[in-house]
Amino acid sequence: MGDIIGKFITESGFFMMTYKEISMIVIACIFLYIAIKKEYEPYLLIPISIGMLLANMPGTGLMNAPSDSSTGGLLYYLYQGVKLGIFPPLIFLCIGASTDFGPLIANPKTMLLGAAAQFGIFFAFLGAIFLGFNGLEAASIGIIGGADGPTAIQLTSILAPHLLGPIALAAYSYMALVPVIQPPIIKLLTTKEERNIKMEQLRGVSKKEKILFPIVVMILVIGILPTSAPLIGMLMFGNLLKESNIVPKLVETAQNSLMYIVTIILGLTVGATANAETFLNPKTLGITLMGLIAFSVGTASGVLFGKIMCKLSKGKINPIIGAAGVSAVPMAARVVQKVGQEDNPSNFLLMHAMGPNVAGVIGSAVVAGILLKFFG
């Protein structure tokens, strides 16, 4: 009886646990607190935290690969959807089905603001190279600046899968912190007079334009950059379903059931890659730092280009909408609306900010395609 009890104790997870696993479990609990108590990106941060917690519990084998003597762990098999590049494009399909490209079509000049905000990606790429990361790792770190979690996961799973956990956590953490990070940058780079600029009401966009837009974008972008096909193709496919107005059940499924199912599995498996060996090292600190710099520079470059457009338009464009060029939809556009109304409660910039915001989604996918072309 004593041997049985002794074996039970020595084979328990608590007996095998090291300080590294304890540290990761504590980090997972902190993320859970942030997600639940502070409500920062809870739909994804909760699954990521649980995946991290489960993967760092000794003896579970949830991320073990199959062998001749045993099958693989549950999370290992679910993770294949990330590894094989299935889940992020599905998320993009769902985003497309939930996105209105009308503001971008009505004011196509805002596409330039979405493009300008991607500068942070290249800035962070060079910074990561300077810190000693190789090209594949630097490309994966830089994409955090696009504030687009699925794109970061897609690119990293191909170029630097060993960094998937830290990069995914950094990307979604900064997406959740958009309301904290962006306002100080916007106010630092603009004057009160610029923030008070009221923009003209957008023109109406016809159904024909909304249907043609995803088709034309697919043909042009994928024709020029075939490596962007998984993300751009699914994004525009989802949007075409929405704008066709003839398949409401498919749109409803993409906007709700499919989105939540893929989000749960994606979060769990991404969190499960954040084990102690890959997470508790100096590289993680470098990733976190460069991710913050990438996001901040992306916001700043969007605002600065907005100031240029403001001058060229003789004051008709409010430069703060450039901050929405990062692809955190629709959070970045809401931040612009809030900052604009702090100085002028009658200023309504939300729809104008949605133009560069959705352009940023396209832009981050295009940049990911460019990085894949050169490093994939």
pLDDT by residue for the chain (376 residues), tens digit each?
Answer: 666 776 666 666 676 778 888 999 999 999 899 889 988 778 888 998 999 999 999 888 899 899 888 889 999 999 999 888 899 999 999 999 999 999 999 999 989 898 888 888 888 888 889 888 999 999 998 888 777 788 988 999 999 998 888 888 788 777 777 888 899 999 999 999 999 998 888 888 999 999 999 999 999 999 999 999 999 999 999 999 999 999 999 999 999 999 999 999 998 998 898 888 777 788 888 888 888 888 899 999 999 999 999 999 988 999 999 999 887 778 889 999 999 999 888 888 989 899 999 998 898 999 999 999 988 7
Domain annotation covers residue 360: yes
Domain annotation covers residue 72: no
Q: Do 240 and 351 fall into the same domain?
A: yes
Contact 287, 64 (CB under 8 A): no
Q: Do 145 and 287 fall into the same domain?
A: yes
Among the three residues 44, 62, 80, which one is the final residue of a domain in this structure?
62
Q: Do 58 and 104 fall into the same domain?
A: no
Contact 149, 44 (CB under 8 A): yes
Residue 207 exposed, middle or buried by CB count within 10 Å (0-12, 13-18, 19+): exposed
Q: Do 22 and 117 fall into the same domain?
A: no
Domain tally, the chain: 2
Owning domain of residue 23: 1-62
Give the separation between CA 152 and CA 99, rounded to whole angstroms: 20
Q: Do 45 and 126 fall into the same domain?
A: no
Q: Do 123 and 29 fall into the same domain?
A: no
Domain annotation covers residue 222: yes
Domain annotation covers residue 90: no
| pLDDT score, position 8 | 62
Q: Do 325 and 240 fall into the same domain?
A: yes
Domain annotation covers residue 84: no
Domain annotation covers residue 75: no
| pLDDT score, position 7 | 65
Domain annotation covers residue 355: yes
Q: What is the dihedral of CA 35, 96, 291, 265, to 10 degrees?
A: 50
Residues 6+ apart with CB under 8 A from 265: 47, 78, 81, 87
| pLDDT score, position 10 | 62
Residue matched to tokens 């989105």: 259
| pLDDT score, position 225 | 93
Bond from prior residue into 330 cis (ω within 30 degrees of 0) = yes
Residue matched to tokens 């890659």: 273
Q: Do 52 and 156 fall into the same domain?
A: no
Q: Do 185 and 268 fall into the same domain?
A: yes
- Residue 315 tokens read as 């004051």
The H or E element spanning position 357 is helix 350-375
Among the three residues 36, 62, 88, which one is the final residue of a domain in this structure?
62
Q: Do 238 and 347 fall into the same domain?
A: yes
Residues 6+ apart with CB under 8 A from 38: none
Give the separation between CA 339 and CA 320, rounded to whole angstroms: 8
Q: Which of 360, 368, 371, 297 is nearest to 332 (CA)?
A: 360
Q: Do 257 and 359 fall into the same domain?
A: yes
Residue 69, number of CB atoms within 10 A of its CB: 5
Task: Give the three-class secondary structure for 117.
Answer: coil
Q: Do 171 and 41 fall into the same domain?
A: no
Q: What is the DSSP letter of 196?
A: T
Give the separation between CA 332 and CA 337, rounded to whole angstroms: 9
| pLDDT score, position 13 | 61
| pLDDT score, position 1 | 67
Domain annotation covers residue 120: yes
